[in-house]
Structure 1
Amino acid sequence: MITPARRLTAVCALGAALTACGTAPAPQAPQTVRRPALTAPSPPPTLAPGPAGLTPVFRHGPRTRGRTVALTFDADMTAGQGGRAAAGERFDNPRLVAALRRLKVPATVFMTGRWAEEYPAQARAIGRHPLFEVANHSYSHYAFTDDCYGLPALPRKRMRADIDRAFAAFREAGVRKIVPYFRFPGGCHDRRVLKALVPAGVTVVQWDVVSGDAFATDADAVAQQVLDEVRPGSVVVMHCTRSAAPTTERAVRRIVPKLRERGYRFVRVSELIGAVVR
């Protein structure tokens, strides 16, 4: 006869691997799912101020690190051209942007704040597309020096505010990929201005290849000028303004395949600057 005490001992022996005899199963600690840590994207590269403490100026990338070239497009519109836009003049160029996307060409668009205000949907689309980055071309497209292609001149005390206002206009339009690069209207600057803009924390971007597309009527001539002058690391200046540069889209459609045949790779300005600071 198996006594109750022996029966209890046997049952405990069978269940000892799972639970302590006479107790409820111990609760299992919840398993923590480990997710990879999220890292913030690296900020766009910039150049350090020069020995004289001036705002740095970038003109082209390395000549000996592969065949790279940056196409840049100035989206120009001055603060005083709102009436002309209201009357039907087009300062945008959606066909050019569509061509760049179709050709899969990365590009840097130097946009004025006034342009972003006039065409916020286009500014937002450019600034959210992975091929493009948006840089600062001032708010007003007024000159930062005297005697600059007939542009109205900004007083020195308003220069920093004009740059800040452009960045604010980009954010208001919903532009996401904004880079801390600045291009002077007309490219006009001097030592005095470079010193005044140091607090803005921008890298000035000029160019080494002038496309000649402004007010041009011959797309083949524009394309040939670029093809003749491009070198490894070049920064090409063109325009994203239909009324003032009507041939740019056609020129780009010729330039891109020709340069690719020569082994060139298209990059944004940030990649060229990154190659310099590495």
Structure 2
Amino acid sequence: MQQGGGNPLHRSCLKWIGIMLAVCLTIPPHAKVRAEKTAPNVVKNRAYYESRGDILWEVPTDKKVVALTFDDGPDATRTALILDLLKQYDAKATFFVLGKKVERYPDLVLREMREGHEIANHTYSHSMNKTKSIPFMMEEIRKTQNIILEVTGQRPRLYRPPGGIYNETLVRESRKEGLLTVMWSWHQDTRDWARPGTYKIVNKVLGNIRNGDIILFHDHVIGSMQTVEALKIIIPALKEQGYKFVTVSDLIQYDERYKSVEHLHPVRRN
């Protein structure tokens, strides 16, 4: 048996145990606390965004109010006819306009505003390619904000992403611009842009109507008058049922999450 130094393997193990103990003792106590308090990743789904008041799909209310919304305009023919119908039935709506169309038809946008409707931002060119960068999308949004301000004297407070495509960064950056992201009630996507037929549009809306709905239409559908014809049936039918047609900003006032949100009120130019 070897004398004096003991087993070399045993001495090596003791040495490494000592090193590990020394390392553990040098770790700051707060580092361990931080690790223990680290929360799991938050699932950023509809419930997450609604709970934060970052995105609006619809408003829970016992009042018979709904918001008619129109995307992609203005359109020289269809927007004018829709405005005539809204005026006939004393209905208000929200128009999510494209900056390039506002430049082309400023008089229609002015008419929308003067007749009590709401003008909202739908980007400049309706680019909904998922590969587009955040700086590109924000430039589209800011450019449209400035165009609408120049035409109407008001800066919109609502924004709808083309195609309903959004992500955490886009929601956050648009909020920094004072914009609330507005989608639509999932059961009220009329898909009128696909020209499904006048009565399919009518049945989609009337068959699924609920208090606080945000209903999606388009006032620019090339070669189709189906939306206009459907509205001739939808608006009087809902009015007969006791529904009131309000702008999205007015609908928001029925939601406790947004009642005191100052940035939702239009800002007038001096």
Common topology (TM > 0.5) = yes
Find the aligned partners of 2:193 and 2:177 in 1 and give their Cα distance: 29
Q: 2:145 aligns with which of 147, 161, 167?
A: 167
Aligned to 1:42: none
- Does residue 125 of the first structure (1) align with residue 144 of the second (2)? no
Equivalent pairs, count: 208
RMSD value, Cα: 2.6
Aligned to 2:207: 228
Q: 2:217 aligns with which of 238, 242, 249?
A: 238
Q: 2:121 aligns with which of 136, 157, 174?
A: 136
Shift of 1:194: 1.8
Find the aligned partners of 1:171 and 1:141 in 2 and give their Cα distance: 19
- Does residue 207 of the first structure (1) align with residue 184 of the second (2)? yes
Shift of 1:127: 2.0
Aligned with 1:197: secondary structure? Answer: helix
More helix by share: 2
Shift of 1:162: 1.3
In the alignment, structure 1 segments of 5+ residues that lack a partner are 1-49, 78-88, 147-152
Change (3 A) 1:246 1:274: same
Deviations 1:72-105 (A, max 9, x none): 001348xxxxxxxxxxx96853212211112211
Find the aligned partners of 2:244 and 2:175 in 1 and give their Cα distance: 32
Aligned to 1:249: 228
Q: 1:157 aligns with which of 135, 138, 158?
A: 135
Change (3 A) 1:91 1:228: same
Find the aligned partners of 2:118 and 2:154 in 1 and give their Cα distance: 5
Letter in 2 for 1:118: R
Q: Is the 8 A contact 2:148 2:156 kept in 1?
A: no
Percent of aligned pairs sharing the same letter: 25
Find the aligned partners of 2:78 and 2:147 in 1 and give their Cα distance: 16
Find the aligned partners of 2:89 and 2:139 in 1 and give their Cα distance: 37
Find the aligned partners of 1:129 and 1:74 in 2 and give their Cα distance: 18
Aligned with 2:192: secondary structure? Answer: coil
Q: 1:101 aligns with which of 78, 87, 99?
A: 87
Q: Is the 8 A contact 2:148 2:154 kept in 1?
A: no
Aligned with 1:229: secondary structure? Answer: coil
Find the aligned partners of 1:193 and 1:244 in 2 and give their Cα distance: 33
Letter in 2 for 1:158: F
Q: Is the 8 A contact 1:63 1:231 kept in 2?
A: no
In the alignment, structure 2 segments of 5+ residues that lack a partner are 1-47, 260-270
Letter in 2 for 1:74: D
Find the aligned partners of 2:84 and 2:216 in 1 and give their Cα distance: 18
- Does residue 188 of the first structure (1) align with residue 165 of the second (2)? yes
Shift of 1:261: 1.9
Q: Is the 8 A contact 1:90 1:242 kept in 2?
A: no
Deviations 1:197-226 (A, max 9, x none): 332121001011111211315212111111
